[in-house]
Structure 1
């Protein structure tokens, strides 16, 4: 049970860190299209799709969390 708790905790911390960092980067790199703001005043918001890179990032985070949890279990 201890291995599972360490794995879930490290996964959660890494995933939340990934979300915060990617949000900061996307916000910093966002350039609004001002020409569309004048034409469209309907209040609709368009969101992008969910590319496969997010899934791969989550798999990478889970793998890192697994190895971190294994390393923490061995040292304690």
Structure 2
């Protein structure tokens, strides 16, 4: 069980780091399309909604992958 906890914690940390880095890269390389903008632009900023479902689904898949790999690759004790 200790291996599983270490695996899930490290997987979650790596997932978080990848999400932050990809968001940073997408933000720094974003170029808005100025030709489609009207003169009636509002000063209101609208952010999209966030959901925890993709993270939970990823952890579920990681958990399944961990247990399947443990069942398939059983090493005999010496």
**1:50 Cα shift?**
7.2
**Alignment correspondent of 1:40:** none
- C-alpha distance 20-50 of structure 1, shift in aligned 2 (>3 A): farther
**Alignment correspondent of 1:22:** 19
TM-score (norm 2): 0.52
**Alignment correspondent of 2:65:** 68
CA distance in 2: counterparts of 1:11 and 1:21, whole angstroms = 15
Q: Which is higher, the Rg of structure 1 or of structure 2?
A: 2
List gaps (5 residues or longer) in structure 2. Answer: 29-46
**Alignment correspondent of 2:53:** 56
Larger helix percent? 1
Task: Give the count of matched residue pairs.
Answer: 55
What RMSD in Å do the two structures reach over aligned CA positions? 2.4
